[in-house]
Amino acid sequence: MTPYYATWFHSSHARNATCNDCHVPHENAVKKWTFKGMDGMKHVAAFLTKSEPQVIQAHEASSEVIMNNCIRCHTQLNTEFVKTGKIDYMMSQVGEGKACWDCHRDVPHGGKNSLSGTPGAIVPLPESPVPEWLRKMVNQKDK
């Protein structure tokens, strides 16, 4: 995921949007957590079997979620300026409109979404998931 993090980090979306803002449904909690669990298991399986592709492509369900979130965040722009606010991903699949990325190809990850496209990309390590109180308790027992 390093190239995706690196390209997002240097995009205009980095100031206002996290990964989950675009890649997880926001209709309701059940849909959000169901999708997150299923999508997460695909990522786990690819990681464990060492079958991550050089360039990650969004699956059909993910593409629909991403476009719906583009529309959700940019509703005013879509309805007032572009007049496409009523087009959803499924309509774009049957030729009744375009997906957001058909025109906005480089948003938000830029055109370099592969390991070779972002050489030397530095990504910060995540913080420890162990709560501070537990870390202190474990360290005290070691002494």
pLDDT at 28: 94
pLDDT at 142: 65
pLDDT in tens, the chain (143 residues): 777 888 888 888 988 999 999 999 999 999 999 999 999 999 899 889 988 887 788 888 999 999 889 988 988 777 666 565 567 777 877 887 788 888 888 788 876 655 556 666 666 777 777 888 988 988 887 66
Residue in the structure block whose two tokens are 């059909």: 60
pLDDT at 3: 79
Distances in Å between the Cα of 75 and the Cα atoms of 7, 15, 83, 118 are 24, 18, 10, 32
pLDDT at 86: 64
pLDDT at 1: 75
Which sequence spans correspond to the domains of the chain?
2-142
pLDDT at 106: 79
Distant-in-sequence contacts of 25-32, Cβ < 8 A, 24+ apart: 25/65, 25/68, 25/69, 26/69, 26/72
pLDDT at 107: 82
Residue 56 near residue 4, CB atoms below 8 Å: yes
Question: What value does the CA radius of gyration of the chain take, rounded to a whole number of Å?
Answer: 19
pLDDT at 89: 76
CATH superfamily of 2-142: Di-heme elbow motif domain (1.10.3820.10)
Q: How far apart are CA 110 and CA 120, in angstroms?
A: 16
